[in-house]
Chains A and B, each alone.
Chain A
Amino acid sequence: MFTPSVDRRIKHIILGTAGTVLTAAVVTYFGMHNRVTDVGYRPQQPVPFSHKLHVGELGIKCTYCHAGVERSAVSPIPTASSCMGCHTVVRAESPKLALVREAYETGKPIEWRRVHKLPDYVHFNHARHIRAGIDCASCHGPVERMGVVSQVAPLSMGWCLDCHRNPEKHIIPARPISGIFTGLPEQEQPVRTVKLAESWPVTNPSYGMWQTPVPAQVIPGVPTPKLPGRGPENCSSCHY
């Protein structure tokens, strides 16, 4: 139909387009793959600490152990002495706590394995997000249901900006269990009876879960957190 040269050219164009599409697909697939974004990363910790037990069942608030998170850029990891505050009495002899007792006695700290890690060139500030009324679960997922903590959000820049641009779609408002918001009617609403939304099994994360946020827990009487304030989008808010 065409001359050989045009024919060749068409073939080249078709092949080139196909190649580009294929490359783009591969890059997109693997770029967004869990192995890259680390969603579902769920390392075994040296001490079999269960957030499900402590937070979900016993109702210990996040800030009880991660004290200072409402002031600092980083969320502090509790010291062995914080653990021993209770565990000198509660389950004092448990073999699971051997490492904690050792750390408490010798001063040699426990080396926990880090789950959530941002690159060094990003400056994320916990305190600012908490003070904007954003609940821990917005980024960390329902930790109170996790026996072993896993990463539920990709922590990618796109994910950050999605929320900075449309916070109302993503933010989980304050919940009493976080323990970071004042004026929460704790007595009227015992934390143990707070019903958590139906969620995905944390052991088997799926892709793109950040687009299906956990429904907000609306508790009567709880002040609505600051919703309309959008996060900054300029580069030097986080990169410097």
Chain B
Amino acid sequence: MTRAFRNISRRKIRALLVVIALGFSIAIMISIPAGATANQASTLSLTENLSNTITQTEATINQTLTQIDASLSSGFEGFGFRTSGIGNFTPGQFGGGNGGNGFTPGQFGGGRNMPGQFGGGAFGMGGTTAMNETLYADISNIENVASVVPILQVSEGANQTVEMFGRTFTRLIPDYVIVGVPLNSSIENYPVLPTNITSGRTLQSGENGVVLLSENNTLFFEAGVGDIIELLGETFEVVGVHGSSGVEDRTTLYMSLSDAQSITNNTGYVTSLKVFAKDSASVTDVANAISSLHPELSVVTAQQRLTQLQAMQTTYETALNNAEATLAQTQSVAFEEVGVAVAATSLIVLFLMLYTVRERTKEIGTLKAIGFSNANVMSQFMLEGVLLSLMAGVVGIAISSVAAPILSGLLLPAASQLGSGTFTGMMATSNSATTTSVSLTPELVLIALGAAVLLGALGSLYPAWRASRTRPAEAMKYE
């Protein structure tokens, strides 16, 4: 053992280079399976998130089948109903009616972005524009309308410029979404506020200066029930926290409509009207009546939303299938690469040990002359090879603990693109970017060391055998 160590340390630079080369090879062996596993995990979690989101949204919509959403889509360019309104609104700034691709057009109205019902239009609804509440008072007079609940929804966050289809869009990355709901008797009769309160309580009629945060919001504001938070210069007391029940709920906080209008400079304006029909049978009639009364409004019934959602689900499923196919491909690539790394490791050991045996022929001859048996000589060289690759195993673990994500990113095709490309784009509001993380588990470390020992033994088997077969008389002649 000591001899093996000393022999290795005899040629320090060579040993170092070989250990590093082997280390990389072993690091690849470690990183790639870890990377592949991480990719799999991230795809799985993506799938899970998506199906949860869709299920939750479906459930919410099913609960509210009598609901009709009426809003001004930003697609109605130049309608100009707010020219007399607040701020620097001009029709041309609506961005050309790009509703549906997930980008809210630039600044308008009171200087606030007002994305669609589904948070940035991820669900194809397009941006929504503020509408003067008083202009739509007549909707409540339509036959079979049970109630009209005006809603103001304003996203707060930072703008990000995105190039797409050769054009530049400003995309809002929302930190949180304020939803103002009239806190009157209608909130008790109609499902306007979230129902799954995870702590505290929901908003009650007649309240002001209070907010109901989402779980996501509590992290953003670092606040919980009973805390006071500041929103756009006003302070609010957190009375409750709701769990999300759909895409739009994850970053949404609820407060009274009047509070929302006042802090966002939208007094008198709302972004949508939730119209409730008396029963589900009359939903279509009511929707038609709203459309004929106000042709500028985008009227969507819960049923239509459900249909849209289902269509989208199909799209997602196709995409997921593609992702899974890519994943399978990734795994076969991973398998091949690990195979190459394994072969490389044993070959490096093989060549090094062959070289060493050749270089030390005379020494082998001496050892045999003074009485070393073939087995003695063989085990000595085997030990050296194994020791060397064990050192390389340690180096490999060190390398991969630092560079595993880089290595697997370099060597594995698509998984990170899976996580950050199309999917996260689609899921902008529901999930922050999924990152590929590669973790070194103790099992992986053990496997790596085991593999190093095994490959070292494998690689040095033939050279050691050659050494043991050396005829001492020949070896002594060798200079």
- Chains A and B are bound partners: no
- The residues of A with any CB-CB pair to B shorter than 8 Å are none
